[in-house]
Structure 1
Amino acid sequence: MPASEARAEGLAARLSALGLITRLEPHAKYTSIEAEVPEALPAESWREVLEVLAEADRFGLLASSLTGRTLWAAVDEAVPATGDVRGPGHQR
């Protein structure tokens, strides 16, 4: 399992522990996490949710009168480190 997927699973597990139902979806360059937010989420829970989301690479909230509130987060795939980051012709 790629490290980004494992990291996303960890974030999803922490959101689930706060009472949110989560969905994970792997993509080519990132893994996404979505969670439906209940209407009566206490303020203390919001703080905890935001602490978890802050560990993602990107996150947001979609709100609609038709679909309710959905949190989303994305965890990017790690870029492999290379020894030659300057490229050809730029060696020391």
Structure 2
Amino acid sequence: MSAASDAGAGDIAARLTALGLTPRVQRHAHHLSIEVEVPESLPADSWREALEAVAEADRFGLLANSLNGRTLWAAVRTETPATGEARGSGHQR
């Protein structure tokens, strides 16, 4: 695990907290995940700032459904991928 990945995940979480959101950070085998529930009342400017924050991660996305609302998530790698592909195949460039 690298201090850079811890710092990156911490920075993302801090930026989301500054928007009044409550991020959850979890350590996994090869990455740190950051998840935050996004209220429907979040202003457009705050949405933009939240998206800019998670865009700093290696991967990010939004899960939305009628049962659980909206969850914005990000993943920051804690290890260098063996393939040398730093962003993974699912990340748009």
TM range (shorter): 0.7 to 0.9
Structure 1 stretches lacking a partner, 5+ long: 80-92
What does residue range 34-53 of structure 1 map to in structure 2 within 5 Å? 34-53=35-54
Q: Counterpart of 2:83? A: none
Percent of pairs with identical residues: 66
The CA distance in 2 between the partners of 1:2 and 1:67, in whole Å, is 33
TM-score (norm 2): 0.79
Which letter does structure 2 place at the counterpart of 1:57?
D
Q: Counterpart of 1:16? A: 17
- Partner-residue secondary structure (3-state), 2:23: strand
What does residue range 1-92 of structure 1 map to in structure 2 within 5 Å? 2-3=2-3, 4-79=5-80
TM-score (norm 1): 0.80
Q: Counterpart of 1:82? A: none
Q: Runs of 4+ in structure 1 displaced over 4 angstroms?
A: none
- Partner-residue secondary structure (3-state), 1:46: helix
Structure label with greater radius of gyration = 1
RMSD between superposed Cα atoms in Å: 1.6
Which letter does structure 1 place at the counterpart of 2:2?
P
Structure 2 stretches lacking a partner, 5+ long: 81-93
CA drift of 1:78 comes to 3.9
CA drift of 1:59 comes to 0.3
What do residues 17-72 of structure 1 show as CA deviations (whole Å, max 9, x unaligned)? Answer: 01111100001110000000011111111111111111011000001111110010
- Partner-residue secondary structure (3-state), 1:15: helix
